[in-house]
């Protein structure tokens, strides 16, 4: 059996705001954007060149989650994004 991490959940305040940042600024792709019940969506984003792991955009619902946006790892580095051209991707 093959094991790998397929998705990492990322808290966001707004789906479209997050999509705009990741697609326009970092040039990520959106493999899936599916409407769910209760104004929820299943939105995954991934770097163009390597789609083995997706970020799952999870819109915050309660106050405790709002406080965690931007601080999802308790002040530690959350993700390391490799790039072959820093200035292009800045």
Q: State the pLDDT confidence band at 77, using cuts at 50, 70 and 90.
A: confident
Looking at residue 57, its pLDDT comes to 96
Q: Determine the structural domain holding residue 85 and report its residue range.
A: 7-62+75-89
Say which CATH number the domain at 56 has. Answer: 3.10.180.10
Is residue 69 a part of any domain in this protein? no
Is residue 26 a part of any domain in this protein? yes
What predicted TM-score, i.e. pTM, was given to this entire model?
Answer: 0.80
Residue 31 bridge partners (DSSP): none
Is residue 13 a part of any domain in this protein? yes
Is residue 68 a part of any domain in this protein? no
Is residue 70 a part of any domain in this protein? no
Is residue 1 a part of any domain in this protein? no
Tens digits of residue pLDDT in 17-63:
999 999 999 899 999 999 998 888 999 999 988 878 899 999 998 88
Looking at residue 83, its pLDDT comes to 82
Is residue 12 a part of any domain in this protein? yes
Is residue 31 a part of any domain in this protein? yes
Q: Give the torsion sign (CA, 42, 24, 61, 52).
A: positive
Q: Give the chain's domain count.
A: 1
- Cβ neighbors of 10 (< 8 A, separation 6 or more) are 18, 55, 56, 57, 58, 72
């Amino acid at each position: 059996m093959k094991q790998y991490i397929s998705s990492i959940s990322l808290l966001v305040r707004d789906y479209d705001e997050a999509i705009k940042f990741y697609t326009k600024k970092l040039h990520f792709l959106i493999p899936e954007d599916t409407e769910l019940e209760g104004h929820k969506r299943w939105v995954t984003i991934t770097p163009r060149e390597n789609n083995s792991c997706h970020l799952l955009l999870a819109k915050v619902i309660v106050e405790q989650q709002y406080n965690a946006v931007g601080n999802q790892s308790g002040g530690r580095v959350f993700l390391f994004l490799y790039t072959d051209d820093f200035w292009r991707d800045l």
